[in-house]
Each structure stands twice: as C-alpha cells, then as structure tokens.
C-alpha cells in the first residue's frame, strides 16, 4: 500500500492498543454476569415461596471458613501473577499451589454441605422451590469454580515444570481475571443465599 498517501502529520507516537486477551476475558465475564443475574433474580423471586419444607433457615449454615478460603485465593492468584511478572517462577508456583489448595478446600466444603443437605435433611433439587433455586445457583457457581481449578492446575503444572515464563504473565493475568470474577460472584451468592435468604 502506498502508505505515504494515507499518512498525514508525523506518526512519531507509538500506536498502542489494549491486550486482546484481557478485553476478551472482560467480555466473557460480562456475558457470565448476565447469566448469574438471572439465576440470582430467580433465587430472590422464589425466597419464601416454597410450598413445602425444608426452609433455608432450618438447614443452611453459614460457610464462613470456606468463604474465607475462596476469597483469600484471589489474593494468592494475584500474588502468583505479580511473581511471574517479576520473573520469580518458583514463587509463582508456590502461590499457584496455594490458590489451587484454597479453591479445593472451597469446593470440598460445598460437596460436604450438599452431602449433608441431601442425606441428612432430604433436600434435593426436586424437593421444593428452595431446593430448585439453591442447587442451581450454587451449582452454577461451583461449576465455574471447578473450571477455574482445572485451568489453575494446568497453569501450576506448567509452572512446576518451569515452562511458564515471564512472557506468559499476561495469559496468567487473564486467568486470574476469571478467578477474581468467580470469587466476586461468590460474594453475591453468599449474601443472597446465606444472608438475605436465611
């Protein structure tokens, strides 16, 4: 292309555009937020509308410990990203391992809670509207946690093998964005299900 004709002035300034990975992940998060909003709305709409028991206040207990675990995993994944940006790969592996561990504790806590609800209290997704909205909302979030854990474990795997380097830090940052989103959703779910709904 005859470039000179298309130019005017002096292009002495560097043409910089945002990273497509971060923009793409932001878009995905917006779409996911829209999905979660609908499930949250359904949950709030059906609070107290169940025709039969058990009711939330009879069976739900505040998952304080697992919540602390999940929320602090946001800090650890952030630490992993900044370690990688400073090219400290060993530290990055360590923080990633902590993230996977904390996320794992959270998902194990959810599994235990569900086991308890199903076998001790007889609450399933078919029992009543509380069961329907509870399992679908918490389950949707748990699915996102599992996906995040798989991706983080993969990152940990590459990191331990020493294959993740400083130039990959942007990709890890994109993943960490997703993980922050999963944590943020949990704050909403916690407030709606365990505080507002109980």
Partner 1 sequence: MATQIPVNEVHDQIAQVPRRLWLEVLHGCVTTVDHKKIGLMYIGYALIFLVIAGFEALLMRIQLAIPNNHFVSPEVFNGLFTMHGTTMVFFVGMPILFGFGNYLIPLMIGARDMAFPRLNAFSFWISAFAGFLLYFSYIGGSGLYGAGSAPDVGWFAYAPLTARVFSPGHSTDYWTLALLLTGIGSIGTALNIVATIICMRCPGMKMSRLPLLPWIYLVMSGLTFVAIGPLTAAQIMLMLDRYVGSHFFDTQAGGSAVLWMHFFWIFGHPEVYILVLPAFAFANEIIPVFSRKAIFGYPAMVAASVGIGFISLSVWAHHMFTVGLGPGGNTFFTLATMIISVPTGIKIFNWLATLWGGKIQFTASMMFAIGFLFQFLIAGLTGIMLSVAPFDWQLGNSYFVVAHFHYVLVGAILFMIFSAFYYWFPKMTGRMLSERLGKWHFWLFVIGFHLTFDLMHVPGLLGMPRRIYTYEADRGWMIWNLLVSSGAIIQTVATLLFVYNMVWSYFKGPIAGPDPWDAWTLEWSTPSPPPSYNFAEIPTVASRRPLWDLKHPEDPDFDYEIEQGSPQQTKKEGA
Please check whether residue 125 is in contact with residue 132, taking contact to mean a CB–CB distance below 8 angstroms.
yes
Among 23, 62, 108, 111, binds partner 1 (CB under 8 A): 23
Among 56, 63, 103, 131, binds partner 1 (CB under 8 A): 131
* Residue number with CB closer to partner 1 (12 or 161): 12
Shortest reach from residue 52's CB to partner 1, in Å: 8
Shortest reach from residue 4's CB to partner 1, in Å: 9
- Give the x-and-dash track for 80-119 against partner 1 (CB under 8 A): ----------------------------------------
Shortest reach from residue 145's CB to partner 1, in Å: 17
List all residues 6 or more positions away from 181 whose beta carbon is below 8 Å from its beta carbon.
29, 32, 33
* Residue number with CB closer to partner 1 (40 or 102): 40
Shortest reach from residue 181's CB to partner 1, in Å: 13
- The verdict on 34 binding partner 1 (CB under 8 A) reads yes
Measured between alpha carbons, how far is 109 from 114 in angstroms, rounded to an integer? 9
- The verdict on 55 binding partner 1 (CB under 8 A) reads no
Kindly determine how many residues on this chain lie close enough to bind partner 1 according to the rule CB under 8 A. 47
- The verdict on 140 binding partner 1 (CB under 8 A) reads yes
Q: Which positions lie near partner 1, rule CB under 8 A?
A: 1-3, 5-11, 13, 15-20, 23-24, 27-28, 30-39, 42, 45-46, 49-51, 125-126, 128-129, 131-133, 135-136, 140
């Amino acid at each position: 292309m005859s470039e000179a004709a298309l130019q005017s002035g002096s292009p002495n300034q560097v043409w910089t555009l945002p990273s497509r990975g971060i923009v793409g992940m932001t878009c995905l998060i917006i779409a996911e937020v829209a999905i979660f909003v609908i499930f949250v709305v359904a949950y709030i709409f059906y609070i107290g509308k169940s025709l039969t028991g058990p009711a939330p206040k009879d069976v739900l207990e505040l998952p304080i410990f697992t919540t602390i675990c999940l929320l602090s995993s946001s800090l650890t994944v952030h630490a992993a990203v900044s370690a990688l940006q400073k090219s400290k790969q060993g530290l990055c592996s360590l923080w990633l391992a902590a993230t996977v561990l904390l996320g794992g504790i959270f998902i194990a806590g959810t599994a235990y809670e569900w086991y308890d609800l199903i076998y001790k209290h007889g609450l399933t997704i078919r029992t009543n509207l509380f069961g329907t909205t509870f399992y679908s909302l918490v389950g949707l979030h748990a699915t996102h946690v599992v996906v995040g854990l798989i991706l983080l474990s993969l990152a940990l795997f590459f990191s331990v093998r020493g294959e993740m380097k400083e130039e990959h830090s942007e990709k890890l940052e994109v993943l960490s964005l997703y993980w922050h989103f999963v944590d943020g959703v949990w704050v909403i779910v916690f407030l709606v299900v365990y505080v507002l709904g109980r």
